[in-house]
Amino acid sequence: MKTKTILITALALLGLTFTTLAQVTNKALCTERESKNKDGGDPILIKTCLYKKYKTISRGYPDYKGRYTYVYELYKKQPNGSFIQIKNAMLFNETKNELLSIINSKIETDYAAFANDAETKDCFEGAAFAPFELDQLGIDFDADKINFNVSFGLSAACMSVDGTTVSFNLDDIEAYLNN
């Protein structure tokens, strides 16, 4: 019993050290793992990142050709230490609309590049860019950045150009985040 108590105390201290280190260096702590796919084939990819009092989990699900589609979840740490899932808008402060405008501008630039490229323009024929709302973005942290992922909703034949990722350095996004 004493060994178990010592081990739990050591793990708690180690976790506190990592959290403190991440906060001092303004970096997210991320782990990646694979999970067996019940349908067989390629594994499900799971990335979990902690940044301050937030956690992101991104899960990549393979199709029959080994191409991955991702699902993103955002959590906030509660005073009791547990995490609850939150909407994207809750990650940001009152300046979130300014940030969303910047993100949409960058997404639209990528969209226009794909739509005007000779090799991919057929995928965008008859479609027009529509700005995204915060809760339509897939958000995940990386070591030193935050990613905003979107899908344009194109057909499977156009999967290679069916979205983009807009990234910001964590230091640069700090002014938009809730404390």
pLDDT digits (tens, 9 = 90+) for 63-98: 888 889 999 999 999 999 999 999 999 999 999 999
- Give the separation between CA 142 and CA 19, rounded to whole angstroms: 15
Mean pLDDT of 102-120: 97
Residue 32 scores a pLDDT above 50:
yes
Q: What is the pLDDT of residue 129?
A: 95
- Give the separation between CA 118 and CA 74, rounded to whole angstroms: 37
Residue 168 scores a pLDDT above 90:
yes
Q: What is the pLDDT of residue 92?
A: 97
Q: Could you count the other beta carbons within 10 Å of the beta carbon of residue 34?
A: 11
Residue 78, amino acid: Q
Percentage with pLDDT > 90 across the chain: 77
Residue 108 scores a pLDDT above 70:
yes
Greater confidence (64 vs 13) lies with 64
Q: What is the pLDDT of residue 19?
A: 47
pTM of the model: 0.84
Q: What is the pLDDT of residue 24?
A: 55
Q: What is the pLDDT of residue 158?
A: 94
Token pair of 15, please? 């976790």
Q: Could you count the other beta carbons within 10 Å of the beta carbon of residue 152?
A: 20
Token pair of 97, please? 């609309």
55 touches 46 (CB < 8 A)? no
Mean pLDDT for all residues in the chain: 88
Greater confidence (62 vs 5) lies with 62
Q: Is 128 helix (H, G, I), strand (E, B) or coil?
A: coil
